A and B are shown apart, each in its own frame.
Chain A
Amino acid sequence: MSLDLPQGTLDLLILKALSLQPMHGWAISERLHQVSRATLQVPQGSLYPALHRLERRGLIRAEWGASDNNRKAKFYDLTRAGRKQLAAEEDAWEKLTTAVALILKQA
C-alpha cells in the first residue's frame, strides 16, 4: 500500500533527509522511499519544484559536485536557517500527531 503525502509535509521530509548529509535529488527520493519502507509514494518529479522553493527560501543551498559513480550531480545541503526550520517543523509535527492520535483514541 502506498500513501499520498499530506500537503506541505514534503518540505519537512526533504529537510529531514538532508539533515544527515548533503544529497542530490535522486538520493533524496531513494531515501524517502526506503526509510518509509516504500509506504510513501512521492512522485519523483515533484521533488524538484520543492527543492528549488526551499533553495529560494534560503533553507537549503545547492552545489555541483561528483556523485558516487563520479558523475556531475547537484548536491543539496541544509543551511543554518534550514536547520532551525527543521527543528521547528519537527516539533510542530510531533505536537500535531500527538494531538490527532489522542483525539482518535478518545473519541
Chain B
Amino acid sequence: MRQALNDLRYRLRALFTRDAMDRDLDAELQFHIEQEAAKHVKAGMSPGEARRVARASFGGVERIKDDTRDVRGLVVLETLLQDLRYAARGLASRPVFTAGIVLTLGLGIGANATMFGIVDRLLFRSPATLREPGLTHRIYASYDLDGDRRIDRNLAFPVYRDFLASAKTLDALAAFQTRQIPVGDGAETREMRVTVASASYFSFFNARPLHGRFFNAAEDSIPAGEPVAVLGHAFWQTKFGGRADVIGQTLRINQIPRTIIGVAPDGFVGMSDQGVPAAYIPISNYAHEFRGPRYTGNYGWSWLELVARRKPDVSIAAAEADLTIAYYESWRREAAGQPGIGSPDSARAAVNLGPVQINRGPQAGRDAMMARWIAGVAFIVLLIACANVANLLLSRAVGRQREIAVRLALGVSRGRLIRQLMTESVLLAVLGGAAGLAIAQWGAGALRTFFFTTGEAVAVTTDVRTLLFAAIATMLVALLTGLVPALQAGKGDLASSLKTGSREGTYRRGRTRTVLLVLQATLSVVLLVGAGLFVRSLRNVQGFRLGYDADRIVFAGANLRGVRLNEAEAVALNERLLLAVKEVPGVTHAAVVASVPFWSNEGRGLWVPGVDSIRKLGRFVLQAGTSEYFAATGTRVLRGRAFDENDRAGTPRVIVVSDGMARAIWKSDDAIGKCIRVGADTAPCSTVIGIAEEMRVRSLAEEREYTYYVPAAQYDLRLDPQLFVRITGDAASFVDPLRQRMQREMPGAAYADAMPLGRLIDPQRRAWKFGATMFVAFGGLALVLAAIGLYSLIAYDVAQRTQELGVRLALGASASDVMTLVMSSGVRLVLVGVALGGGLALWGSKWMEGLMFQQSPRDPLVFGFVALVLLAVSLLASCGPALRASRVDPNVALRGD
C-alpha cells in the first residue's frame, strides 16, 4: 500500500514537474561525467582525452536519459495528457461545434439527472433517518366490498390496538397521520400540517431530539394521554426563532394548549418525504379531544396509517400471515359490536406489508407514475442526444480520414488512435456532464415544486446519489458517442484511404450514420406522439365539465375550533354568514353546502322501490345546499327544475339526481316523479323533481360515481358552516375580503377561512399538465436534435458528392433535378423513422392508456400530425444543403480537390 502510494506520488511529480525533472537528470549525468573526467585528469590524461574516455565509459547519454524517463512511468500518463491536450486544442479550435455538442449532451444529462433526483425521492430512497429500512413496512389491509377488492392503508385506532396486542412477528408498530390542524392563538392561527403519532413512532428513526425529548408511552396512554407537543425543526426556527427555552412553553394546537416538550432535529422528516410537519402530538390526546373517550372502540373511524418493523428472523410472508390473523380477530370484534358488516372470511380480509414509500406500494399516485414515464422520456432524449453527437463526431472523423490514414502510415498504432478519439468523447461528455448538472440544478428547482408540495431544499450538486448518477450517465455518454467513431476510424483500409482520399469515384454514405439518423427520427416520433397525446389529454381535462363553475366559486368556511353551538345557533350562524358574504361587492350568490369536491363528501343510504341493494350500482354522493345552491355553483339542470326557497322544512321532500344516477337506477324510464328514500328505508319519499349534470367530487375519471342534490332545509342535516360563494372576476382576489367579512361573525375562538375552489381541483389536473409540459418540452428537444442531425448528415453528403453532382450538372441535369435528388435521400430516411416510430408508439400505447384522459392512445389525428411535422422538418433541414447542391459549379467541382 505504502509502496503504491509512493509510486503514485513519484509518477505524479514526474508528470507535473516533467521539465524540472529533465533538468535535474541532465545536471546529474553531467556531474557524473565531469567527475569521471576529473579522475582521469588526475591520473595524467589531457582534459580533452579525459572527457572522451569518460563519455565512452558512461555509454549513450540520450539512451540512458530515455531509459530513466521510462522508469518514471510517464508513458501512460503522459500520452493521456497529450491526448487530452490534443483533444482540447481540437475542440477549442471549433468553438461552435464544441458548444453545440456540449449543450446537446448537457441537455440530455441534465434532463436525466433532474428526473433521477425526483424518481429517486419518490420511489427509491427510504425516508431519511429511518432505521432498518429493509425490515420496515407500511401496512395495507385489503378486503372485498360491494364486489370490489379494496385496498386501504387507513385503519381505525382499535385495529391498531388489536394488532399491537396480538401480533407476534413484529419488533415495533406505530400509527400516525398527518392532518391540517389549526396551530396558534387568535388572529395568528394558521392551519398547519401536524403529525398525530403513537409514542412508538419515534423508535423507527435514528434521531434524537435537538432539545427536550420525544413524547413517551405514558403521554400517549389511553384514554386521554397528555397535552404535549414536539415541534418540527423548521417551524421551531420560524415561529420560535430557534430558541432553546421553548421547552415548557405552551402552544395551542387544535383546541387546547399543549406543552412543548421537545424539538425534532433538522432533517427529521418522519415517514413521508412530503415535508416536515409543524409539530407532533400523541394520538390518544388528539383523538380524545377530537372524538371523545369512545374513540378507543370506534372501528368506523379509519384515519391512521400503520408502519411496522418485522423481527429480523421473520419473513415478510410470515409477518403478513400473523397480521392477517390479527386482522380477522379484530374484524370479528368489530362485527360483534356492529352487526351487518359481514365476516372477514366472506370479505377475504388480508393484510399486506408494502414498502414504506407510498409511491412504491399498491396506492402509488398518478404523479409517481408520471415521474416514471418522464424519466423514461428523459432517457430517450439522452439517447437521441448521443446519436446526434456520435453522428457529428463521425462526420468529423470521416472528414479526417486522410489525416488518420497518414498517421497510421507513419506508425501510430490503431490503439493509440482509438484512445485519442475516445479521449475527445470523454472530454466532451465531461463538459456536457458539467453543463448537465447546471441544467439539473435549475430544472430541479422548477420541478420539485411540482412533485414536493412543501418545497424542501433543492439539492442537486450536493446530493451524492444524483451526482453519482450524473457521473454514470456521463460515462455512458462518452462510451456511446465515442465508440462508434473510434471503431470506425480503427477499421478503415489504409491503402485505399490514402489513394482515394475524398475524391472517391463512387459515393457511399456510412451505414452507421444512416442507422443513427433513422434511430433519432424513430425516437423523436415516439416522443412527439406522446407529447400530442398528453396535450390532447390536458385539453380534455381543462375542458372537462366538472358539474360546477370551479373558477367562479370561492370556498369559504368557519373553523369553530371547539366552540359548541346548539342546533339553532348553528343554523343562525349559517344564515348570518350567507348574508355577510353577500355584502362583499362582486358576490352574486351563496349557498351553504354539505359536500365539497376533493375535500369532503357526504353519503346516505338510499332505497328505491323495486331496486334492491342500490349500493351495488355505484357510489352515490349526497350534496345538500341552501336554496341558492344551483345559482351559486352554476350546475346545470338538464330537465325538470332545481329546488328553491319554496322547498322548505315541512313541505314534501324533493330531490334532484344526476343524469348518470337516473340512468343507473331507472335505466330508460323517466326518473322525474320517482320516489327515493334517503337515510332509511322508513324515511318519507323524496320525489325526483329534476335531473342535473354530474358533480365531480372524488375523481375526474371515476365512472360509477353519482351525485344527488337535496335542499338542506327539508332533511335533518346539520350543515357545517362551509359555503360556496359565487363571484364575478378573479376568485383569488375575493379571498381576503370574504375572510375579513366573515371573521366578524365568528363566535369565540372560531376563525374564518377562504380559498378559490379551483385550488382544490388543480392537483387533479396537474398530472396531465405536467405530462403535457414535459412531453412537449422533451419532444420538441428531440425534434430539434433530429433536425440538426439530418441537416448535418445531408450537408456532409452534399460536400462529399460535390464531384458527382458536378458531373450530373455537366451532363445536363437541371438544378431542380439535383435538389430533388438530395432532398429525397434525406426525406426517405425520415420516412423510415416515421414508420418505425409510429409502430413503436402503437405498440407502446397499451401502457399509455392509464395516463390518458378521455383520449385514445392510438389517436390517428396525433399520429398523422406527428408524421407531417417530421416530414416538414426533414424538408426544411435538407432544403439548405439541397440548394447548395443545385448551385454547384461543374467546372469547379470537376477540377477541384
Real binding pair = yes
Interface on A for B, CB 8 Å cutoff?
A: 24-26, 29-30, 43-46, 48-49, 52-53, 55-58, 67, 69, 71-74, 81
The interface residues of chain A lying within 8 Å CB-to-CB of B25 are: 48
A26 touches B31 (CB 8 A): yes
Q: How far is the CA of A55 from the CA of B26 in the complex (A)?
A: 17
The interface residues of chain B lying within 8 Å CB-to-CB of A56 are: 6-7, 10-11, 71-73
B31 touches A74 (CB 8 A): yes
Which listed residue (A24, A57, A72) contacts B3, Cβ 8 A?
A57
- Give me the 9 closest cross-chain CB pairs, A-B, nearest first: A45-B59, A58-B6, A45-B64, A26-B35, A49-B67, A56-B10, A52-B71, A26-B32, A53-B71
Interface on B for A, CB 8 Å cutoff?
A: 2-3, 6-7, 10-11, 24-25, 27-29, 31-32, 34-36, 38-39, 57-61, 63-64, 67-68, 70-73
A-B contact list, 8 entries, CB within 8 Å:
A26-B36, A48-B64, A52-B68, A52-B71, A56-B71, A58-B3, A73-B31, A81-B2
Total A-B residue contacts, Cβ distance less than 8 Å: 77
B31 touches A24 (CB 8 A): yes
A44 touches B36 (CB 8 A): yes
The interface residues of chain A lying within 8 Å CB-to-CB of B72 are: 52, 56
The interface residues of chain B lying within 8 Å CB-to-CB of A57 are: 3, 6-7
Q: How far is the CA of A84 from the CA of B421 in the complex (A)?
A: 45
Name the residue on B nearest A69 (C-beta).
B38
B3 touches A74 (CB 8 A): no
| Minimum C-beta distance from B17 to chain A (A) | 13
Q: How far is the CA of A56 from the CA of B3 in the complex (A)?
A: 9
A71 touches B59 (CB 8 A): no
A45 touches B71 (CB 8 A): no
The interface residues of chain A lying within 8 Å CB-to-CB of B2 are: 58, 81
B36 touches A48 (CB 8 A): no
Q: How far is the CA of A12 from the CA of B229 in the complex (A)?
A: 76
Q: How far is the CA of A72 from the CA of B11 in the complex (A)?
A: 25
A45 touches B27 (CB 8 A): no
Name the residue on A nearest B70 (C-beta).
A49
- By secondary structure, the A interface counts as helix
| Minimum C-beta distance from B187 to chain A (A) | 75
Q: How far is the CA of A29 from the CA of B64 in the complex (A)?
A: 15
| Minimum C-beta distance from B739 to chain A (A) | 77
The interface residues of chain B lying within 8 Å CB-to-CB of A58 are: 2-3, 6-7, 10
Q: How far is the CA of A77 from the CA of B101 in the complex (A)?
A: 53
Known: A72-B27, A74-B24. A25 touches B32 (CB 8 A): yes
Name the residue on A nearest B56 (C-beta).
A44
Name the residue on B nearest A61 (C-beta).
B6
The interface residues of chain B lying within 8 Å CB-to-CB of A81 are: 2-3
A72 touches B31 (CB 8 A): yes
Q: Give the one of A53, A56, A58, A81 with max B CB within 10 A.
A: A56
| Minimum C-beta distance from B553 to chain A (A) | 80
Name the residue on A nearest B66 (C-beta).
A49
| Minimum C-beta distance from A20 to chain B (A) | 19
Which listed residue (A45, A69, A74) contacts B58, Cβ 8 A?
A45
Q: How far is the CA of A84 from the CA of B58 in the complex (A)?
A: 30
Q: How far is the CA of A69 from the CA of B7 in the complex (A)?
A: 33
| Minimum C-beta distance from A61 to chain B (A) | 10
A45 touches B6 (CB 8 A): no
Q: How far is the CA of A71 from the CA of B39 in the complex (A)?
A: 15
Q: How far is the CA of A57 from the CA of B70 in the complex (A)?
A: 14
A55 touches B10 (CB 8 A): yes
A44 touches B58 (CB 8 A): yes
The interface residues of chain B lying within 8 Å CB-to-CB of A30 are: 39
Q: How far is the CA of A30 from the CA of B38 in the complex (A)?
A: 13
Q: How far is the CA of A30 from the CA of B32 in the complex (A)?
A: 11
Q: How far is the CA of A56 from the CA of B71 in the complex (A)?
A: 8
| Minimum C-beta distance from B816 to chain A (A) | 71
| Minimum C-beta distance from B27 to chain A (A) | 7
B64 touches A46 (CB 8 A): yes
The interface residues of chain A lying within 8 Å CB-to-CB of B27 are: 72, 74
A44 touches B24 (CB 8 A): no
Name the residue on B nearest A53 (C-beta).
B71
A48 touches B68 (CB 8 A): yes
Q: How far is the CA of A29 from the CA of B684 in the complex (A)?
A: 121
| Minimum C-beta distance from B59 to chain A (A) | 3
Q: How far is the CA of A81 from the CA of B7 in the complex (A)?
A: 13
| Minimum C-beta distance from A36 to chain B (A) | 16
The interface residues of chain B lying within 8 Å CB-to-CB of A48 are: 25, 28-29, 32, 64, 67-68
| Minimum C-beta distance from B3 to chain A (A) | 6
Name the residue on B nearest A55 (C-beta).
B10
The interface residues of chain A lying within 8 Å CB-to-CB of B71 are: 49, 52-53, 56
| Minimum C-beta distance from A66 to chain B (A) | 11
Q: A48-B68, A49-B71, A71-B31 are in contact. List 7 more A-B contacts (CB 8 A).
A: A25-B28, A43-B57, A46-B67, A52-B71, A56-B71, A58-B6, A58-B10
Name the residue on A nearest B7 (C-beta).
A56
The interface residues of chain A lying within 8 Å CB-to-CB of B59 are: 43-46
The interface residues of chain B lying within 8 Å CB-to-CB of A53 are: 71
Q: How far is the CA of A54 from the CA of B3 in the complex (A)?
A: 11
The interface residues of chain A lying within 8 Å CB-to-CB of B24 are: 74
Q: How far is the CA of A72 from the CA of B23 in the complex (A)?
A: 13
The interface residues of chain B lying within 8 Å CB-to-CB of A24 are: 28, 31-32
Q: How far is the CA of A43 from the CA of B11 in the complex (A)?
A: 26
Q: How far is the CA of A81 from the CA of B6 in the complex (A)?
A: 11
Q: How far is the CA of A29 from the CA of B25 in the complex (A)?
A: 17
| Minimum C-beta distance from A55 to chain B (A) | 7
| Minimum C-beta distance from A72 to chain B (A) | 7
The interface residues of chain A lying within 8 Å CB-to-CB of B29 are: 45, 48
The interface residues of chain A lying within 8 Å CB-to-CB of B70 are: 49
Q: How far is the CA of A24 from the CA of B35 in the complex (A)?
A: 11
The interface residues of chain A lying within 8 Å CB-to-CB of B64 are: 45-46, 48-49
Name the residue on B nearest A49 (C-beta).
B67
| Minimum C-beta distance from B767 to chain A (A) | 62
Name the residue on B nearest A28 (C-beta).
B32
Q: How far is the CA of A63 from the CA of B411 in the complex (A)?
A: 40
The interface residues of chain B lying within 8 Å CB-to-CB of A71 are: 31, 34
Q: How far is the CA of A24 from the CA of B73 in the complex (A)?
A: 23
The interface residues of chain B lying within 8 Å CB-to-CB of A26 are: 31-32, 35-36
The interface residues of chain A lying within 8 Å CB-to-CB of B34 are: 71
| Minimum C-beta distance from A27 to chain B (A) | 8
The interface residues of chain A lying within 8 Å CB-to-CB of B38 are: 69
Q: How far is the CA of A58 from the CA of B29 in the complex (A)?
A: 21
| Minimum C-beta distance from A98 to chain B (A) | 29
The interface residues of chain B lying within 8 Å CB-to-CB of A44 are: 32, 36, 57-59
The interface residues of chain A lying within 8 Å CB-to-CB of B57 are: 43-44
